[in-house]
Homo-oligomer: A and B are copies of this chain.
Amino acid sequence: MAEQTGTLRRTPLSKDRVLRAAVALADESGIESLSMRNLAVELGVVPMALYKHVANKDELLGGMIDVVVGEIDPPVPDPDWKRVIRARILSARDVLLRHPWAPLAIESRNDATPAILDYLNTMVGILRDGGFSTDLAHHVMHAMGSRMLGFSQELFDASRRAGRSGAAEPEPPAAFPPEAAARFPHLAAIATAASHDDASVVGDGCDDQFEFEFALDLLLNGIDDLRQQGWRSAH
């Protein structure tokens, strides 16, 4: 215990520790500040040491995604496919809300990760058990898209922010700048309607949970109708 001082390392580095530190760093500082070099600093390690545990940054991101996907609840036992799918998607959504960088990381990736493949495979299995033909299950997976993993591609919500930034600024309440409201009256109308329709929502913006479930149920109900009608693709 003499010469070891100065650089005493609490835990030896491991792939798991690297991935967890990376996820934590992305969670609190945003994905844009996740660099190999920053991550090394965070771990009290020289940058090159990371390359002993991940081949490159792409593998790092893949591993991070799988850490996140691993947090999603397994399917609950229930004979009703719709309840199983719905509950798991909402669990996935919960998880992704804790890791706001994950949806974009998943989308920017060209290959699916093992955990995602496993997740999707299970979801298809639930559909098959629920009476879906292979054909219909296939189209359903495409139709659900990223919503299967608990996120939707919102085009104009303010909920997606870079980093947490310490809750410093109180989120500019300008729901719609008056200049823009004049140019885009229809958007202004639905934005305004949303802000005072829902008393439960504090500032501007919408009840994201409601919007998500609205779209989810719209899809699930439509899909259930197709299944009941014994839908088959005309080919």
Contacts and interface: CB of A to CB of B under 8 A. Distances in A.
A224 B7 CA distance: 66
Contact of A180 (B117, B145, B155): B117
B193 A161 contact: no
A148 interface: yes
By secondary structure, the A interface counts as: helix
A15 interface: no
A42 interface: no
Contacts of A116: 155-156
Contacts of A185: 121
Give the bracket for the number of chain A residues in contact with chain B: 35 or more
B197 A135 contact: yes
Given A104-B108, A210-B233, 5 more contacts: A124-B190, A137-B186, A142-B214, A143-B218, A197-B235
Interface of A: 104, 106-108, 110, 112, 116-118, 120-122, 124-125, 128, 134-135, 137-139, 141-143, 145-149, 152-157, 160-162, 180, 183-187, 189-190, 193-194, 197-199, 206, 210-211, 214-215, 218-219, 221-223, 226, 233, 235
28 contacts: A112-B156, A116-B156, A117-B156, A117-B183, A117-B187, A120-B156, A121-B185, A121-B186, A121-B187, A124-B186, A134-B189, A134-B190, A134-B193, A135-B193, A135-B197, A138-B190, A139-B211, A142-B157, A142-B211, A143-B214, A143-B215, A143-B218, A146-B154, A148-B155, A149-B155, A199-B235, A218-B222, A218-B226
